[in-house]
Amino acid sequence: MVVDGSLEPEKAKSDVLCSHSYNFMFNACRIPGKPSDHCRIGSYDHETIVVIRNNQLFSFEFAPQGTQLTMGEIERVLDRIVRIADSRAAVPVGILTADNRDSWTDNRELLIESSPENIQVLDEIESSAFVLSLEKDRPVTREEFSHAIWHGNGRNRWFDKPCQFVVTDSARAGFNGEHSMMDGTPTLRLVEYVNGFKPSPEQIGSSVEPRASSEEDGWFHELKFVTPPAVVSTVKKAEAVFSAGVAKQHLKVLNFAAFGKEEIKRLGCSPDAFIQMVIQLAYTRLHKIARPTYESSMTRKYLHGRTETCRSVTNESVAWCRAMATASTSTEERVRLFKQALAKHTQLTREAVEGQGVDRHLLGLRMLIRPDESKPDIFNDPAYAYSSHWYLSTSQISSENFTSYGWSEVSPKGYGIAYNIRKESLLIHITCMRNEYGLNSDHLASHFEAAATDVRNMILSAAAQQK
């Protein structure tokens, strides 16, 4: 549907959303460069995917001679790839895509200079439709599953590809998206489509006679890098950088089963605003202060629109959090302040969606400053720098099908909080770094759970008093 242009545009209420970002979903790749990366958009004529197993890459033609393979044929090819890859070892070149972008820029050039064969391999990877990573992991807990999909061991991936589907040996699957050209809503739609796909008998191919193994062998081939000692050395350095970075990550996935979207709506609250205020209360209880908080708001009602910032910390939210910490404040007053905080957040969200936020505008102005120009006073003001330092980076993607969804913090001093508002539960994914700032994802998750319960009880208590 993306290829032939038949994909129906999404809508938010009555607004049709821009579909431009779908151009970067398939047959595209982020390319490292200095001073900045760029996106390569390939041709849809490349009807191949890249399969990665045991650090080895394979090109798999999913529609040879224009004929789509059946599920049975795909399964047999993937089984053959797994058997081949598991029988030997390889230099994990994919880890280079997890390295610092400038380092990856230099190392990509090193690969190109090392052999003309590497140029062809890179071209096949970058022009492929997407990546399928077949992982040896067998995650059990939500945290293990999140780590497995988020980064794995870093070696069995190509992180520059916009779409990577990850399947573990325990038959659990997830999706890893490269964020520079796409946001969460197009990839959510893709994943929901995959989850809901019901193959026809012809696509299953149960009644189709298996083809000769020699024919099936022609549908895939190994993408083998030439790796002289200089490349092996850079790979080892990238492995060390990756391992150190992952070791610093502290991740907690909270499955809050007490209530979800339906109960929040029965309480008379906007689900998103409710969650944002609970996050504020949990954070201030844990750290004794309110800090700059980012929430992503979608601006795809405009051509090429992506996001704008909704700033969740307001005078109203701070006043309510203080009231919750003051024992002498009545329930009635707390509810009044809470409703004011909700209303303010809803207003700011609406303004951001309508393109009336301030952050993207200020970013544009700042990017227009030439190197030989002095910065306007606002950009040198400590208050501006502080207010743009996100101690809490938050966003919502909601689905009944997900067991986890998230990303890392954007500051060593902060948390990354992804939340999934289900009908009857809340899924909260919290990350932070283990460092000198004393952050703790487990503790914040515990405070979130208590805060959500307290807010619900506060509203129900106030309603009971009015009867």
Indicate the residue type of 421. Answer: I
8 A C-beta contact, residue 123 and residue 234: no
Among residues 396, 186, 392, the alpha carbon closest in space to that of 273 is found at: 396
443 catalytic? Reply is no
DSSP 8-state symbol, 361: H
Using the CB atoms, write b or e for 141-180: b if 16+ within 10 Å. Answer: ebbbbbbbbbbbbbbbbbbbbbbbbbbbeeebebbbbbee
DSSP 8-state symbol, 376: P
Tell me how far apart the alpha carbons of residues 334 and 172 are, in angstroms, rounded to a whole number: 44
> Which of 46, 147, 151, 179 is flagged as catalytic?
179
Nearest-5° Cα angle at 25, 393 to 61: 135
Cβ atoms within 10 Å, residue 277:
26
Using the CB atoms, write b or e for 316-330: b if 16+ within 10 Å. Answer: bbbebbebbeeeeee
When computed from its CA atoms, the radius of gyration of the chain, rounded to whole angstroms, is: 24
Q: CA dihedral defined by 228, 229, 233, 236, rounded to 10 degrees? A: 70
Using the CB atoms, write b or e for 243-273: b if 16+ within 10 Å. Answer: eebbeebbbbbbebeebbbebbeebebbbbb
8 A C-beta contact, residue 50 and residue 124: yes
Active site residues: 179
